[in-house]
Amino acid sequence: MKWDRMTAIASRSGQLGTVCLIRHDLLHWEMSVKYARSPELAATYAKKMIDRFEPDIFVCENLTTAHRKSSRTKGILKSLSEVAETSKTQAVTIGRIQRHPSKQVEAVHIAKRHPALARYVPPPRRVFDDEPRAYVLFEAIALAEEAALMQ
**Which range (23-27, 55-59, 61-65) has the least confidence?**
61-65
Residue 5: Cβ-neighbour burial (10 angstroms; 0-12, 13-18, 19+)? middle
For 38-42, the CB contacts below 8 A with 24+ separation are 38/75, 38/76, 39/75, 39/76, 39/78, 39/79, 40/79, 42/9, 42/11, 42/16, 42/76, 42/79, 42/80
Is pLDDT at 26 greater than 80 in this prediction?
A: yes
Structure confidence at residue 1 (pLDDT): 61
Query: How high is the pLDDT of residue 96?
Result: 80
- pLDDT: which is higher, 66 or 130: 130
